[in-house]
Structure 1
């Protein structure tokens, strides 16, 4: 039996009191697409950082093609033949494709351009080497990241949530590329929360729970429910049923909103119109970078309109376009931003103090003084009700895994019981158990009569929970699509501009 390409034995890593990885044993075979499954905080990201040389293990051994290795940096890992594409791309937008690649891959420009084109042709990763990155779609940017890795001739390619930013059509193209790479001898470590994708493309899966390996399986021999149960160690909760109801009054309306940002790399919004009623969930679908961030800031109040355009944003029947975020919250509005750290929470502050940012009106502040008891009780309720894995309310927000911090922020905002609730990327990087619970609670809010607006790049998520969907592309919104009468492929066509009505 041939030796595995990569072999880990007893790999461990701790951060103060948190044991992120505990005695990890893992073998990755040559020519294999190997999935790493686990809940948030299970240790997936830490393990990939150890393999890629971003972090160093406290104990254990790593063998590469049978020889012991200990990469101390990504550059050293690349020299061994290990490449990684992170979930959030690391490209300079003001540089061209070839200029970005030349930062890692040595060579003359003409030779690099030729090789980029050749790899694009070989693996279905066509991209213009001379194009500036800011002009590329998200799918094209991912191709640049993958090409950059391939130009270092990797034997192992690590992909962290590679489909999270892609429309369905681009996912199929990516999978065709990965199968070509596998057939040419490249092994792939594939991290994803999308279990059906793992079943369709991966031949092995290693399951992590609480930093330790709990199993090795062939995902093709198990359905998504079985894999989810292995990940979280319990039965999956059933989806929350929709309560049939007629939509009530309009709580949010955008009426022909036009917006030209000062930043040349941001997206202009053009004649954006939508209406959101009580007792419904409206989803905004779209490929990342098509104006979702700009739209979110205009709705939240982080970006204000001038007084003459204040009626382009209406909440609760009154113009709010020129009001800030705090004034809109006082009307009964709450929101969860896409960026967890910095906008959703302050990383250096405790969870308790982060509760104060938006929940101070629930009795956490009395006569100008913080009621520490009330603050602690509110924070503990968020931690318990939303299954936030943390040592306690005094833990720093920045010390939590991305998924656990997301659960805390969503819980904090839901505890405000808003009449109008807006959430951007509600389950980004959140494992399937927590994602299901967040979706159940959003449906509960809708069933109780709240108006809920969701921006998400997960089409399946929007089809699970929304009454209606609109697609944003190049700063414009599509017509409203009733979910019960719409297919996923139709939304995908709007996302790539193949529908004439997407203007």
Structure 2
């Protein structure tokens, strides 16, 4: 085994971590040099999250050594890791929702950094410089998923860091914003800061990272120089069998309109929130309509109105229709009885109850399915069978139906939530960010499931920041900007530049010749 160079920023040697019934990390070696942007790749459940938590002091390894700048160390807790110059942005956010952006950042930086009020100018300056504008006084609970991730990234970048760990940092960024972030990371690397970059977007890894370590089933399956590999070769290192990862799907013509949104306007009482202005949208049976947009442009508000979490009364109830019938005044359970299924943007806490078993999480939305209830009594065997069917058909990696939702990796929980909704055979599926933060194998499986549901006659609405995903699976495309929705166009008539203009609010696209 090679002795770490005194010029090595971080070296892991033989890191092993066991949990009941599984070995999360099995003898992992990893070396990162100063100024190096190093990718950590692997499918969901491969051990990436555990390894990152060990580096950041959240989890203690059962065996192995951590060598920091040539000296063996123990990262006892995150505070000690931060003192050494390690910053980390988790995929699942660690923010206090009732506090402001500035208060959250002040807590992370400690008393010596100044009061929240004193930090506000610096927060604005840093966030603007990195292309992730934030309003320091805004309360976190009012932020979209994408805006919350901006807080995490900016909070980390305001520290005096020597190793920056980023877990799926571009999941909610446009390609242009991702390019701006990459420019920042390259600048940091030029100044000597090391970057450990975790992403399932292989084109990003190839463009940004000098080296990559690939994990599979808790072990290092290989190392490579990403720029010298194709996406398919990287995917094969990650999942072994790369079948279906480069699938191209035929575009479909929708049939009968199922979801119709006409002249929908909604005024947001939150001064930092987004109001919706005269939205018109149609989703037909047997098609997928994709909506692009930068996070915080009205996606959350639209999803709440479509799912029934927020209702409209009086004449406004007619603004949203299922098969011609007004539904905007109906609660979520009533809309589900009409055929709606919903995959929210936030997995834990919204899509699933963290401490509840998978079986009970399945029951949460599938209780109206035949056999789930007899009168008011839960039929436990049917509930267990339904959850087991989701696990089997969507290849969810878990010990079983009794496992808590919080015990699953992000991608596996996403597969469970999506599978739970699809197996209810909905007539309309509204899915927010269906493959956010999942590995290439899971993303391919989710895309196939959506296409199969479309081909079975369902109407599907997908809201995503991933333009590649939207172009791959959508039959028609639109974009949200500042609460306004562009017209929908056939995907094959669109270019990425067209969608980019819509995302910026420029809805006139003279290059388009065919509109749906």
- Normalising to structure 1: TM-score of the pair? 0.90
Corresponding residue number in structure 2 for 1:125: 130
Query: What is the 5 A alignment of 1:320-469?
Result: 320-360=327-367, 361-469=369-477
10, 19, 24: which one aligns with 2:28: 24
Note the alpha carbon deviations across 1:380-399, whole angstroms, 9 max, x for none.
22111100001112222222
1:167–1:495 CA contact under 8 A, matched in 2: no
Equivalent residue of 1:190, what SS? strand
RMSD: 2.9
Corresponding residue number in structure 2 for 1:229: 236
Whole-Å Cα distance in 1 between the matches of residues 218 and 224 of structure 2?
A: 17
Query: What is the 5 A alignment of 1:466-477?
Result: 466-477=474-485
Change (3 A) 1:298 1:128: closer
Corresponding residue number in structure 1 for 2:60: 56
Whole-Å Cα distance in 2 between the matches of residues 403 and 352 of structure 1?
A: 18
2:411–2:439 CA contact under 8 A, matched in 1: yes
Q: Is the counterpart of residue 158 in structure 1 residue 165 in structure 2?
A: yes
Give how far 1:255 is off.
1.0
Whole-Å Cα distance in 1 between the matches of residues 437 and 20 of structure 2?
A: 24
Note the alpha carbon deviations across 1:402-458, whole angstroms, 9 max, x for none.
211111111111111112111111112211101111111111222222111111111
Whole-Å Cα distance in 2 between the matches of residues 333 and 82 of structure 1?
A: 44
Q: Is the counterpart of residue 286 in structure 1 residue 293 in structure 2?
A: yes
Give how far 1:148 is off.
4.1
Note the alpha carbon deviations across 1:474-499, whole angstroms, 9 max, x for none.
21111213211111122123223355
Q: Is the counterpart of residue 40 in structure 1 residue 44 in structure 2?
A: yes
Whole-Å Cα distance in 2 between the matches of residues 234 and 398 of structure 1?
A: 28
Whole-Å Cα distance in 1 between the matches of residues 448 and 144 of structure 2?
A: 32
Give how far 1:103 is off.
5.2
Whole-Å Cα distance in 2 between the matches of residues 495 and 336 of structure 1?
A: 23
In terms of mean alpha carbon deviation, does 490-499 or 458-467 score higher? 490-499
Corresponding residue number in structure 2 for 1:209: 216
Whole-Å Cα distance in 2 between the matches of residues 209 and 59 of structure 1?
A: 19
Give how far 1:227 is off.
0.6
Change (3 A) 1:130 1:252: closer
Whole-Å Cα distance in 1 between the matches of residues 493 and 25 of structure 2?
A: 46
Note the alpha carbon deviations across 1:237-264, whole angstroms, 9 max, x for none.
1555545653211100111112224444
Corresponding residue number in structure 1 for 2:267: 260
Equivalent residue of 1:267, what SS? coil
Change (3 A) 1:427 1:67: same
Whole-Å Cα distance in 1 between the matches of residues 45 and 215 of structure 2?
A: 9
Whole-Å Cα distance in 1 between the matches of residues 162 and 391 of structure 2?
A: 42
Change (3 A) 1:126 1:199: closer
Whole-Å Cα distance in 2 between the matches of residues 118 and 295 of structure 1?
A: 31
In terms of mean alpha carbon deviation, does 157-166 or 474-483 score higher? 474-483
1:243–1:447 CA contact under 8 A, matched in 2: no
Q: Is the counterpart of residue 485 in structure 1 residue 493 in structure 2?
A: yes
Whole-Å Cα distance in 2 between the matches of residues 96 and 293 of structure 1?
A: 19
Q: Is the counterpart of residue 104 in structure 1 residue 112 in structure 2?
A: no
2:248–2:472 CA contact under 8 A, matched in 1: no
The alignment of Structure 1 onto Structure 2 pairs a total of residues equal to 499
2:108–2:155 CA contact under 8 A, matched in 1: no
Corresponding residue number in structure 1 for 2:503: 495
Whole-Å Cα distance in 1 between the matches of residues 124 and 434 of structure 2?
A: 37
Give how far 1:141 is off.
7.3
Whole-Å Cα distance in 2 between the matches of residues 408 and 117 of structure 1?
A: 38
Whole-Å Cα distance in 1 between the matches of residues 212 and 70 of structure 2?
A: 21
1, 8, 12: which one aligns with 1:8: 12
Change (3 A) 1:500 1:22: same
Give how far 1:128 is off.
7.9
197, 203, 209: which one aligns with 2:204: 197
Whole-Å Cα distance in 1 between the matches of residues 143 and 66 of structure 2?
A: 37
In terms of mean alpha carbon deviation, does 347-356 or 207-216 score higher? 347-356
Whole-Å Cα distance in 2 between the matches of residues 8 and 260 of structure 1?
A: 52
Note the alpha carbon deviations across 1:52-80, whole angstroms, 9 max, x for none.
12222222211101111112222211111
2:127–2:134 CA contact under 8 A, matched in 1: no
Corresponding residue number in structure 2 for 1:220: 227
Whole-Å Cα distance in 2 between the matches of residues 281 and 115 of structure 1?
A: 43
1:117–1:127 CA contact under 8 A, matched in 2: no
Task: Give the gaps of 5 or more residues in structure 2.
Answer: 510-516
Change (3 A) 1:21 1:287: same
Q: Is the counterpart of residue 185 in structure 1 residue 192 in structure 2?
A: yes
Corresponding residue number in structure 2 for 1:311: 318
Equivalent residue of 1:362, what SS? coil
Whole-Å Cα distance in 2 between the matches of residues 371 and 142 of structure 1?
A: 40
Whole-Å Cα distance in 1 between the matches of residues 283 and 133 of structure 2?
A: 40
Note the alpha carbon deviations across 1:282-328, whole angstroms, 9 max, x for none.
01111112211111111111211113321111012200111111111
